[in-house]
Chain A
Amino acid sequence: MFAGLLFEPTRLPDEAETLRAEVRDFVARELPPDYWPNSDFNEGHSPAFSRKLGERGWIGMTWPKRFGGGERTFFERYVVTEELLAAGAPVSAHWIADRQSGPLLLNYGTEDQCQRYLPRIARGECFFSIGMSEPNSGSDLASVRTRAMRVSDGWVVNGTKIWTTDAHRNHYIITLVRSEPPSQNRHAGLSQLLIDLRGEGVTVRPIKNLAGGEDFNEVVFEDCFVGDDDVVGEPGNGWTQVTSELGYERSGPERFLSAFRVLVEFVRAVGDEPSPGEAALIGRLAGHLMTLRRMSISVAGMLQKGGSPVVESALVKSLGNDFEKLLGELVRLQAPPGNVRLEKCLRQTLLHAPSFTLRGGTREILRGVIARGLGLR
């Protein structure tokens, strides 16, 4: 009867709302008074803050207790992540390990791998990078050329990964490699290897972005040995595993809150009696945000039920990223001149905006995923 994608109306359970107050108190207490909040999940890096979150049990929240997790619901995790982002807390250190590397290990890793890595991730002591893109493989991920050659008790890796966020300060990278020569089935013969970023045969080179930041890198592997005990899942099953990560990677509140602080500063700048035009802009953005939250919470409900909402996640990310960009552009046009705080926020957002619709899957790739979900391809 209904032609589109179904996002079941979903209410956050009471325990999630109780947790919200705890997170707000924590953030208000922990961040120094002069802290400049940034709601872009990629921006604030603080291992000390991540460790404190770990102490509170707010990393690896949904994982089993025997691996250091909290056995909490996806709704509770949702609330913690959105509160941290809205407050502009520094979360980038543990973000990827918590969001997708940990869940990947839980789904496909061995008991031994889970024991070795998950408790440290959950304590906020162990950070991961994503080893997917390469200099010649971006959106066409199946074309990766980093090779893993079989040796007696493991694999030897040669190749280059790129756009690797925080590889210079994270501990491990889960690397998508070609472990068998290319065949007719381009999705076959790929594997995921867990590699120590400080290990032998690994060189990390920073890449400066247009905003002057150096959080992403090129990672070069030269005869880098990886033992059999660091293969994630089955050799050859890499494509299935990588795509399963994307449901986690794409649906969260970090996909629509990157520019949130711009809205906050705009409201501060115009005061509590905005002009009709200013009020309408604030209301328009608020209406979008309320709607995106509902969609993201609905996806959290799908994850809670054990679903794999790949298409729904792509849709939330696509709408969310477009909104993040729109927010900066629309506020820019109505920003009162000379407001230092708003100006600073706007500059940060406008300079980082190009990355919003690239990282985690470009707008074009996402639209392709949605089109497939609609049965068009």
Chain B
Amino acid sequence: MDRLIADTAERIFSDHVDRGVLDAAEHGEFPRALWDVVREAGLHLVGSPGSGTDGGDLCELLKVAGRHASPLPLAEVLMANSFLDEAGLTTIAVGGVAPWGRAADRVVTVEGEMSVDFDVAEDVNLAGESRDRVQMRNAHRVDLPGQLYERMALSRAALMVGALDRILAMAIDYATEREQFGRPIAKFQAVQHNLAILAGEVAAARCACDGAIMALGSPHLAVTVAAAKARVGEAAGVAAEIAHQVHGAMGFTHEHSLHHFTRRLWAWRDEYGRETHWQEQLGRRVAGGGADSVWEFLVGAG
């Protein structure tokens, strides 16, 4: 990824995503100030035609957003801007549900309907992120890019990779600082082994996601996204469980910020197809090739 984009994103999210913004967003308030800063920096156009950036950069930006639990509907905005002319805030609906439908100027559905005229019933996912029910009026058809559903699944995988990276860092920091029995709990073998498992899942998730990113624009996208969403989703469950165990009761409080990341992981692993959905998709393809081609299939997918 363009180093400049990564650094800019890192700086903006570090400076502008704080506890106040996250709590306000959970109370239903769209993070307008953050959105303005993101637009001023041009980050909302990463991956769009003529921006000099591509789908890989888009995913790398989402990893940074996930690392900071950014409350913007960034995956939707970036994906929409990658195939539509930019016109304010465009969100993407799946199954009639769109992140920040209440604040959007325009809604596109993964089935290819678009409208600027829609009713909104506010709702949230289990992370408290806006997931509004939208009812479109005067919708018209738009040409979608191929495999939009798969690309959106990949966007969730990229967000999860960022959040996974963050909870690993938080768990390591906490275990190194928190003392019990006269020493940091990081010195206990049982804790070390849990953190090693956590690090393994985070590394695996990142590699699975990067595999799908490398397949963008190739015929292997569907297969690698299926593997990525399934594997990252599995990692999210294991990793969040360990991160909480390491943080003890402190991590179960609303005051501690761990839940901003773990609740998002629990929500995102279900969005755009949970693990079993993608496992089944992938499994059908593998089985369809026959037993003696299993290996060829796996290698061919890259």
A-side interface residues toward B, CB under 8 Å? 1-5, 7, 9, 11, 20, 82, 86-87, 260, 263-265, 267-268, 270-274, 276, 278-284, 286-295, 298, 315, 318-319, 364, 366-368, 370-371, 373-377
- From residue A222, how far is it (CB to closest CB) to chain B in Å? 38
> Does any Cβ of A come within 8 Å of B260's Cβ?
no
Q: Contact between A284 and B199 (Cβ–Cβ < 8 Å)?
A: no
- From residue B175, how far is it (CB to closest CB) to chain A in Å? 7
- From residue A315, how far is it (CB to closest CB) to chain B in Å? 5
Q: Contact between A287 and B299 (Cβ–Cβ < 8 Å)?
A: no
Q: Contact between B291 and A268 (Cβ–Cβ < 8 Å)?
A: yes
Q: Point out which of A288, A291, A370, A374 has the most chain B C-beta atoms below 10 A from its C-beta.
A: A291
Query: Contact string, B21-37, partner A, CB cutoff 8 A, digits 1/0?
Result: 00000000000000000
Q: A287-B282, A290-B298 are in contact. Are A374 and B199 (CB under 8 A)?
A: yes
Q: Contact between B172 and A375 (Cβ–Cβ < 8 Å)?
A: yes
Q: Contact between A290 and B208 (Cβ–Cβ < 8 Å)?
A: yes
- From residue A324, how far is it (CB to closest CB) to chain B in Å? 14
Q: Which of A272, A289, A374 contacts B195 (CB 8 A)?
A: A374
What are the residues of chain B within 8 A of A1 when measuring CB–CB? 10
What are the residues of chain A within 8 A of B290 when measuring CB–CB? 267-268, 272
Closest 4 CB pairs of A and B: A283-B283, A268-B291, A279-B283, A283-B279
Query: Contact string, B287-298, partner A, CB cutoff 8 A, digits 1/0?
Result: 111111011011
> Does any Cβ of A come within 8 Å of B92's Cβ?
no
Q: Contact between A286 and B283 (Cβ–Cβ < 8 Å)?
A: yes
- From residue B161, how far is it (CB to closest CB) to chain A in Å? 10
Q: Contact between A364 and B193 (Cβ–Cβ < 8 Å)?
A: yes
What are the residues of chain B within 8 A of A288 when measuring CB–CB? 231
Q: Contact between B286 and A267 (Cβ–Cβ < 8 Å)?
A: yes
Q: Contact between B287 and A267 (Cβ–Cβ < 8 Å)?
A: yes
What are the residues of chain A within 8 A of B287 when measuring CB–CB? 267, 270-274, 278-279, 282
Q: Contact between B199 and A377 (Cβ–Cβ < 8 Å)?
A: no
Q: In the complex, which residue of chain B has the Cβ closest to the Cβ of A318?
A: B200
> Does any Cβ of A come within 8 Å of B202's Cβ?
yes
Q: Contact between A289 and B207 (Cβ–Cβ < 8 Å)?
A: no
A112 to B297, CA, bound (A): 45
What are the residues of chain A within 8 A of B207 when measuring CB–CB? 7, 9, 291, 294-295, 298
What are the residues of chain B within 8 A of A87 when measuring CB–CB? 295
> Does any Cβ of A come within 8 Å of B280's Cβ?
yes
> Does any Cβ of A come within 8 Å of B135's Cβ?
no
Q: Contact between B294 and A377 (Cβ–Cβ < 8 Å)?
A: no
Q: Contact between A295 and B203 (Cβ–Cβ < 8 Å)?
A: yes
Could you list some 6 contacts between A and B, CB below 8 A?
A: A260-B295, A279-B284, A283-B283, A286-B227, A287-B228, A291-B227
The interface-forming segment of B101-109, B126-134, B209-217 is B209-217
> Does any Cβ of A come within 8 Å of B176's Cβ?
yes
> Does any Cβ of A come within 8 Å of B261's Cβ?
no
Q: Contact between A282 and B165 (Cβ–Cβ < 8 Å)?
A: no
Q: Which of A265, A270, A370 contacts B199 (CB 8 A)?
A: A370
- From residue A155, how far is it (CB to closest CB) to chain B in Å? 37
Q: Contact between B200 and A283 (Cβ–Cβ < 8 Å)?
A: no
A10 to B170, CA, bound (A): 28
Q: In the complex, which residue of chain A has the Cβ closest to the Cβ of B176?
A: A376
What are the residues of chain A within 8 A of B211 when measuring CB–CB? 9, 290-291, 294
- From residue A5, how far is it (CB to closest CB) to chain B in Å? 5
A377 to B193, CA, bound (A): 11
What are the residues of chain B within 8 A of A375 when measuring CB–CB? 172, 176
